[in-house]
Amino acid sequence: MGYYDEPETSEATVSFTCSNNECGHENKELEVSFYGSRFTEEIEVECEKCCLDTKVFIGDDSCHCGDRCVC
């Protein structure tokens, strides 16, 4: 029986509108990296146009494995 080591970083693809009203740029399908593997939290993502951060929810579309990773 093996153990599951949580990765140090994970990757996700996000789409969002920049929270800065003056920019308002629609970012589509940006690939982002973040620490850990929790897909149930908000992370700050930089807008590709004006380089300002926007909090983006990383939705959970992954398999839930629990203690035993049998998905």
Give how many domains the chain has, as a whole number. Answer: 1
Q: Domain range for residue 22?
A: 9-57
- pLDDT tens digits along 30-67: 999 888 766 667 899 999 999 999 999 886 555 556 55
Residue 64 maps to a domain: no
Whether residue 42 is contained in a domain is answered as yes
Residue 4 in any domain: the answer is no
| Residue 7: per-residue pLDDT | 64
Task: Inform me whether the pLDDT recorded for 23 exceeds 80.
Answer: yes
Q: Is residue 17 part of a domain?
A: yes
Helix/strand/coil (H/E/C) assignment for every residue in the chain: CCCCCCCCEEEEEEEEECCCCCCCCEEEEEEEEEECCCCCCEEEEECCCCCCEEEEECCCCCCCCCCCCCC
Instruction: Evaluate whether residue 2 is within a structural domain.
Output: no
- On whether the CB atoms of residues 48 and 25 are closer than 8 A, the answer is yes
pTM assigned to the model: 0.67
Query: CA 39, CA 60: separation in Å to the nearest integer?
Result: 5
